[in-house]
Structure 1
C-alpha cells in the first residue's frame, strides 16, 4: 500500500517514480566491432556532434575519413586520437574540387556518410536577410550535403549498400527556432533526406536525418537578435562533450547495420525539447 497524504488529489493519479539520473551520469554505450571493416565519412568532424560521431565510429572499429575546414582543429583531433583509425582531410564540402578529392580518398569504398557540417544565421528576419548571408547559409547547409552525397552515392551503389545520415534541426520542422535562411536550409535538408530515401531504398542505400536539440557545442547563433524569438530555453546541465556524445549515439545507430531496415526517418535526439 502506497503512503499518501490525506486529501492530496494533485498527485494521487501518478505512479510513484524514482528521480531520473543526473545528465552527466550518462555513459556512452560503445558496441565493440560494430564498424569493423567499414569506411565512414564524417563532415564537420573536428568539433561538436561531428567530432563525437567520428570518434565513436572509430572506437567501434571503423576507419573514419574526417572532413573539416579547420586545419588546427583537424590536427588536434588526430593528435588526441592517434590510437584510432582516423584519416583527416581538410576541405570544404560545398566546393566541388574539394569534394572530388574526398571521393578519391575513399579509394572506391564508403559504407556510410555522416553530414554534420553547418552554419547558423543569427535569427535574422526575412526582410533583414542580405544576399551574402542567404547564399552562405545555403552553400554550407544545403549545397554541401548535396555535393558530398552526390559524389559518394555512386560508390555506394556500386556495392549495393550504404547509409547516409544528415543533421537537420528543430528549425527544419518549425519556424520559431532560427532565422529565415537557416530555417529554410534545414527544411531543405529534410526534403533532400526524404527524396533520397525514397529513390535509393530499392538499391540498398538508407538515408535518414537526426534532429538534435540546441547544444553547447553546436552552432553559435544570437537567438536574441532583432526580429528573433528571444533566447532558447535553458538546457540540461551537461557538458558539451556529453551533449555531443548523446547525439552521436543515434547518429552511429543509423550509420550502422543495426538500422538495416530504417530509412527516411527524421529522428529527434532532443530530450523531448521539440515536444513543447
Structure 2
C-alpha cells in the first residue's frame, strides 16, 4: 500500500538519528516535506542529505525542543514550506534506571522537560495551524515505559506515561475538528538513546530490578520497523485511527 503524505509538511523531532531519521526518510518517500528538527545540526543535515539524494524534500530546523523559543522557530520554519500537516514527537532522553528514592532533581527535571514538556510545547504550537486546515496528524513516540512500571526508572516512566495521557487528551479534544493524535510504544530499539546519559551513573539496583522484565522482550527492533508504523499513522490511510496507544514491541507488552 502506497501511503499518502503529499502536499503537506511534517515536523519530526530527534530526526538526526534512530527512529526519527528512519521516520523522516519514510515520510519524505511518501511525499511529505520533512522538517528535520534535532539538537545536533550536523546530524540533522545528514538526514536532509539522505532525503534529498533519494529525491525527497526536507529542511533543517535545529534547536532544543525543550525550549519555547526553539519550538516557535521550528514551527514558523515549517510553515514557510507549505501546509503543516503532521508532527512526530520523537526526541527523548533516558534516565538512570533509578526508583523515586534514588532519582535526583536534575534527572527528573531533564526527563520531564525533554520527554513530556517538549511534546506538549510542540503540540500546542502546531494545533492552531492544523485546526485552521481542518486536518492533521500528531504521532507521539512514547515507550513500553508508558504503560508499565518495569521498563525504566521513575523519571523516564513518569514522562512516558505523561506522553500517553497527552496523546489521548489531544485525540479526544480535537478529533471532531479533524485532528488525529496517536502514540507509538516501542520496546527495545537499536538506537543511540543510551548516549543521552552518563552510563557510569546508571543505578545498578534499579537496573537489576527491571532486568528480568527486559529479558522477556522478543528482540530489539530496527528503527525502520518503528518508522513504518509512524508513517502509517501520519498518512491519510490511517484516517480512522485516533487516540490509539500502539505498542510496537514484538509482543513484549502482551506478556
TM-score (normalised: structure 2): 0.89
Cα distance in structure 1, aligned partners of 2:128 and 2:106? 32
Structure 1 position 179 matched with structure 2 position 158:
no
RMSD value, Cα: 1.9
**Secondary structure in 2 aligned to 1:227?**
helix
**Comparing 109-118 and 215-224, the one that deviates more:** 215-224
Q: How does 1:1-276 map to 2 (within 5 A)?
A: 31=2, 34-83=4-53, 84-107=56-79, 109-217=83-191, 219-220=193-194, 225-228=204-207, 229-231=209-211, 232-233=214-215, 243-276=222-255
Displacement of 1:219 in angstroms is: 2.1
Instruction: Report which of the two structures shows the higher radius of gyration computed on alpha carbons.
Output: 1
Cα distance in structure 2, aligned partners of 1:181 and 1:53? 26
The answer as to whether partners of 1:215 and 1:235 remain within 8 angstroms in 2 is no
Cα distance in structure 1, aligned partners of 2:24 and 2:36? 7
**Secondary structure in 2 aligned to 1:106?**
helix
The answer as to whether partners of 1:224 and 1:230 remain within 8 angstroms in 2 is no
Cα distance in structure 2, aligned partners of 1:62 and 1:180? 36
Cα distance in structure 1, aligned partners of 2:96 and 2:74? 30
Displacement of 1:31 in angstroms is: 2.3
Cα distance in structure 2, aligned partners of 1:75 and 1:58? 15
For residues 179-211 of structure 1, what are the alpha-carbon distances to aligned partners after superposition, in whole Å with 9 as ceiling and x for unaligned?
000000000000000111100011110000001
The answer as to whether partners of 1:65 and 1:106 remain within 8 angstroms in 2 is yes
Gaps of 5+ in 1: 1-29
**Secondary structure in 2 aligned to 1:207?**
strand
For residues 210-253 of structure 1, what are the alpha-carbon distances to aligned partners after superposition, in whole Å with 9 as ceiling and x for unaligned?
01111121521767722232543286677x7xx10011111111
How many residues are matched? 243
Displacement of 1:163 in angstroms is: 0.5
Task: Tell me the equivalent position of 1:21.
Answer: none
**Secondary structure in 1 aligned to 2:127?**
helix
Gaps of 5+ in 2: none
The 1:236–1:177 alpha-carbon spacing in structure 2 relative to 1, beyond 3 Å, is closer
